[in-house]
Amino acid sequence: MLLELKASLRSASAEEYLCRLFEKIEKSSLNAFTTLAREKAIEQARQFDKNPGQGLMAGVPIAIKACISTIGIETNCSSRILRGYVPPYDAHVVERLKAEGAIIMGKTNMDEFAMGSSTETSAFGPTKNPWDQTCVPGGSSGGSAACVAGGEAPCALGSDTGGSVRCPASFCGIVGLKPTYGLVSRFGLVAYANSLEQIGPLTHTVEDTALLMEIIAGHDWRDTTSAEKGSYLAGLKGDVRGLKIGIPKEYFGEGVNTEVEKAVWDAVSVLENLGAKWQEVSLPHTRYALAAYYVIAMSEASSNLARFDGLRYGLRQLGEDEDWHTTFSEIRAKGFGPEVKKRILLGTYALSAGYYGRYYLKALKVRTLIKEDFQRAFKDVDLLASPTMPIPAFKIGERINDPLSLYMADVFTVPINLAGVPAVSVPCGFAGRLPIGLQLMGPHFGEATVLRAAHAFEAATPFHERTPEVV
Amino acid sequence: MDNVIIGLEIHVQLNRLQSKMFCGCSTAYQNSEPNTHTCPVCLGLPGSLPVLNRKAVECGIKVGLALNCTIEEETLFYRKNYYYPDLPKGFQISQYDFPLATKGHIMILGDDGAERDIRINRAHMEEDPGRLVHAGTIDKAKYTMVDYNRCGMPLLEVVTEPDLCSPKEARTFLDKLKSILEYLDVFDGSLEGSMRVDANISLKGGDRAEVKNISGFKGVEKALSYEITRQKNLQRRNIKVVQETRHFDELRSITVSIRSKVGAHDYRYYPESDLVTLHIASWVPGIRATLPELPDTKRERFVKQYALADDHAKSLTSDIKLANFYEAVVAKAAPKLAAVWIADVLKGELNYRNLGIDEFRPEHMVDIVQMLEQKKITEDGAVEIIRSILDKKGGSPEEIVKSMGLGKAGDDAVQKAVREAVAESPAAVADYKAGSERALNFIVGLVMKKTRGKASPGEVHDLVKSEVEKC
């Protein structure tokens, strides 16, 4: 889709296209954006219309999650504490996009500091699901998913710490990829849980995701954990004959919505018809994944978010400061929302002397076991398939006061982040009006295979062609 | 001093490195405007990531080897979490388990005149925080300013065992450590704040106080002396010394209790996953090969090679520049005589003027020693030449000899002056004959006057004596 858009912009006008998008956003009730970079974007589109460049994304607009740094555009992580923070530098992925001619439209709404699965913890109010505006779009990259699904942007970047790209992709009926840990530089991504998270694309089609990966993946010296990229577009259209797909038995059954389960099994049949084989596999430590994930993520968050003290940027009361401890405590009390405070407190507790061994260290051990589960499974199969989310999108307000049921929804996405492997969510059906996502997981740096299978599935099914009627 | 137990933690800035520990900012921030040597990384801006300066770790290993430490197989970085305005990330990247180097020792001359080993517990790397500038004293300041130029400077923290017994020994240890660091060319001690000391001090049987952040060796001696007095007085009044952190107020030369950074000092150390584990064992052989001759070895060699007294060898090798200066001189001049003139005279004249050895050219010392050997100048004349050069009056030693008339008087002239002086002093001759040895000094003085100081007083004394005895 992006490739056709790119071609059409050359004969039509990028400025006109962009203005239509901004008009739509302004009339929209989705609340997908926190900040728009309208003037800059339109100026760039005008430049393109005068002199179209040769970049892979020349003239194509893109929306960026509010936790990815953009020079000159507020990057607030949907938090009050970063209100007014305008980064003096671009994230690596933004630099790469700009170098390929992409136009940054603005920043998308998210759960505050990416802590959530519904975009309801945003300081700027929840984003709505374009398929049913009484439902959440998923999260934490809810704004990025909703703007793409709702036709307000052709593509977007999100970040995925425990499912934050795949969950909203699934709930909004689009494609979302969580790359292998280290494949995309995190330089410029405001950290929530830095050992778990990756930046990933949210797009209408698998090909678009592959295109964005060609641009954003690869080694960046500013992120020591980043690695060399592979090739994603070239082999995308290959078939899946002989591909061995594992069905992890722990990802089905209790707690999984029956319509979701049926859609995923149908999807497996589609792949089988295309020549793939499937077999049941076991990832025995799956049931410990959620607990380990939350201990690790919250511990890291307690440290990563310590820098927000209002001294150098962001929220600060004017007037006389009290002594240092009082002042920064007040700023943090005012600046962070309840979910963030909860995670900082729990994470601080888990890292404290006397508890470290019982919680953090133990969680790291579980993490190793989960990684080994995947390594074992990938000795027998090429890919794993499961539901992305056990349920379709839920109602706004339905779970926000029931954290356990909210956290439980991440049960199939967090093990992937713990293991560091790649996983994509592709639309595989509907439960009523609400989309369902199929999760395809691969071994470390197995993006090419994951995307090839997802592409084959997409080509054989009509789900990606449906778009919501957004009023 | 009896019953005093002192252990030191020394923070050494590896300030001979070009760039900071985790970013490309220059280390040459001294004399710069505040907050001009910063970037997103050392300011801890959201989304920034540390990139290790490999050279800093190499320097750290070099120091570890010179301190006779064991270098660990693997080393990794930890986050030390605490809130303080000089710490822009809310944590300091430091080391915890698996530090760079452990269990070393260096030899010092103890107060009892015997040499002994002071044990090194560990040496680990960390980043320097920024610098707080208080308006007034720390306990009464109305406001405080922060300068982040220093933030991210590569630091090596050297921790000793509590093996030191007096403030003077602490000073001796620090002098030795500084000497070794300068030999290794990793450290320039002339820069402000380049070595900062935390001292743990207790009286036998009592709790210890930690005096934090003492700048300068004299400061360490003063702070420790004050602490000993304070703790002794408390003991005398039967008041318990409480374990606490204290600040050394340089202006008032006292220590004051300060509120600790974190209530219970729980730094919640945990591994920094933005940096990878370093397998440093393989680096060691290469680094060991670059180790220069260290002070103790050089001292032994000087004693053997140049037949120097141990005192002179020690004095000359205490400072690498002085040792190099000496070796440049002895390439062309008599080793023993050169040692006396450099260690006893030149060093004193430099210290008196607060100058470094760079202010004196080895060729000039060669000239002076040669002229002394050839008896072209007297010892007083040599001192005059040294002073003239240090006071920047211009000219080479030979020119100074000419212009100041410091050339030694010829034998005939001296003999003549002696004969005249004896003839002119019948009273003194009579006193001498009556048994007053001191009476000769009057005649010697007269000869020195007649020769305008160009004769050697020792030689003149002998000549006068034999002349008087002829009478």
B276 touches chain A (CB under 8 A): yes
Q: Please report the pLDDT score of residue B262 as a whole number.
A: 43
Token pair for B447: 């000869």
Q: Which is nearest to B152 in space by CA: B220, B53, B61?
A: B53
B40 touches chain A (CB under 8 A): yes
Query: Do A352 and B273 make contact, defined as CB atoms within 8 angstroms?
Result: no
Using DSSP bridges, classify how beta strands A103-108 and A61-65 pair: parallel, antiparallel or unpaired. parallel
Handedness of CA A448, A453, A457, A463 (dihedral sign): negative
User: For residue B269, what is the nearest residue in chain A, using CA coordinates?
Assistant: A351
CA distance B97 to B289: 27
Residue A109, pLDDT > 80, answer yes
Query: Do B47 and A75 make contact, defined as CB atoms within 8 angstroms?
Result: yes
Please report residues of B whose CB lies closer than 8 A to that of A67.
47
CA distance B268 to chain A (A): 5
CA distance A87 to A68: 10
CA distance A40 to B20: 35
A441: part of which helix (H) or strand (E)?
strand A434-441
- Return the DSSP state at A284: G
* 8 A C-beta contact, residue B306 and residue B339: yes
Q: Which is nearest to B45 in space by CA: B31, B25, B27?
A: B25
A104 touches chain B (CB under 8 A): no
* 8 A C-beta contact, residue B31 and residue B3: no
CA distance B17 to B12: 12
Q: Which is nearest to B187 in space by CA: B156, B148, B212?
A: B156
- Which of B50, B90, B270 lies nearest to residue A307, judging by beta carbons? B90
Query: Do B268 and A302 make contact, defined as CB atoms within 8 angstroms?
Result: yes
The torsion region of residue A242 among left (phi > 0), alpha (psi -120 to 50) and beta comes to left
pLDDT band at A145 (very low <50, low <70, confident <90, very high): very high
Amino acid at A55: G
Q: Which is nearest to A456 in space by CA: A436, A426, A434, A413?
A: A426
A69 touches chain B (CB under 8 A): yes
User: For residue B267, what is the nearest residue in chain A, using CA coordinates?
Assistant: A352
Query: Do B146 and A311 make contact, defined as CB atoms within 8 angstroms?
Result: yes
Please report residues of B whose CB lies closer than 8 A to that of A187.
47-49
Q: Which is nearest to A335 in space by CA: A11, A76, A52?
A: A76
Using DSSP bridges, classify how beta strands B244-249 and B209-215 pair: parallel, antiparallel or unpaired. parallel
- The full length of chain A comes to 471
B48 touches chain A (CB under 8 A): yes
Query: Across all residues in chain B, what is the average pLDDT?
Result: 90
User: For residue B270, what is the nearest residue in chain A, using CA coordinates?
Assistant: A351
A346 touches chain B (CB under 8 A): no
What 3-state DSSP class applies to A103? Answer: strand
- The full length of chain B comes to 471
A349 touches chain B (CB under 8 A): no
Output the CA torsion B314→B319→B320→B321 (10° steps). -120
* 8 A C-beta contact, residue B291 and residue B181: no
User: Residue A197: CB partners within 8 Å, gap ≥ 6?
Assistant: A114, A159, A160, A161, A164, A186, A189, A191, A417
- Select from A77, A197, A307 the residue whose CB has the most chain B CBs within 10 Å, as the one to mutate to test that interface: A307
CA distance A195 to chain B (A): 6
B201: part of which helix (H) or strand (E)?
strand B195-203
User: For residue A220, what is the nearest residue in chain B, using CA coordinates?
Assistant: B51
Average pLDDT over residues A284-291: 96
* 8 A C-beta contact, residue A280 and residue A247: yes
DSSP string across B112-134: TS-EEEEEEEEEEEEE---EEEE
User: For residue B275, what is the nearest residue in chain A, using CA coordinates?
Assistant: A224
Using DSSP bridges, classify how beta strands A244-248 and A383-387 pair: parallel, antiparallel or unpaired. parallel
CA distance B405 to B452: 9
* 8 A C-beta contact, residue A392 and residue A301: no
What 3-state DSSP class applies to B80? Answer: strand
Token pair for B139: 């306990």
B352 touches chain A (CB under 8 A): no
Q: Please report the pLDDT score of residue A157 as a whole number.
A: 98
* 8 A C-beta contact, residue B369 and residue B329: yes
Query: Do B47 and A352 make contact, defined as CB atoms within 8 angstroms?
Result: no
Positions of A marked active-site: 65, 140, 164
Q: Which is nearest to A155 in space by CA: A208, A98, A91, A100?
A: A208
Residue A204, pLDDT > 90, answer yes
Does the model's ipTM exceed the 0.85 cut? yes
Query: Across all residues in chain A, what is the average pLDDT?
Result: 96
Query: Do B89 and A188 make contact, defined as CB atoms within 8 angstroms?
Result: no
Interface A-B, measured as beta-carbon pairs within 8 A, has a size of 100
Please report residues of B whose CB lies closer than 8 A to that of A191.
46-47
Q: Residue A244 CB: number of other CB atoms within 10 A?
A: 15
Strand partners, A427: A437
Query: Do A299 and B266 make contact, defined as CB atoms within 8 angstroms?
Result: no
Amino acid at A241: R
User: For residue B52, what is the nearest residue in chain A, using CA coordinates?
Assistant: A224
Please report residues of B whose CB lies closer than 8 A to that of A225.
273-274, 276
Please report residues of A whose CB lies closer than 8 A to that of B266.
352-353
B328: part of which helix (H) or strand (E)?
helix B320-330
Encode pLDDT of B204-228 as tens digits.
Answer: 888 888 998 898 889 999 999 999 9
A195 touches chain B (CB under 8 A): yes
Q: Please report the pLDDT score of residue B261 as a whole number.
A: 47
Fold assignment, A1-471:
Amidase signature (AS) enzymes (3.90.1300)
Residues 60-119 of B with CB under 8 A from A: 79, 81, 83-85, 88-91
DSSP string across B298-325: HHHHHHHHH---HHHHHHHHSSHHHHHH
Which domains, ranges and CATH numbers included, belong to chain B?
A: 4-287 (no CATH), 295-404 (no CATH), 411-470 (1.10.10.410)
Query: Do A307 and B276 make contact, defined as CB atoms within 8 angstroms?
Result: no
CA distance A437 to A402: 23
All residue ranges of chain B with pLDDT < 50 are 1, 261-262
Query: Do A299 and B43 make contact, defined as CB atoms within 8 angstroms?
Result: no
**End-to-end Cα distance, chain B:** 59
Where do runs of H (alpha helix) occur along B19-166? 54-66
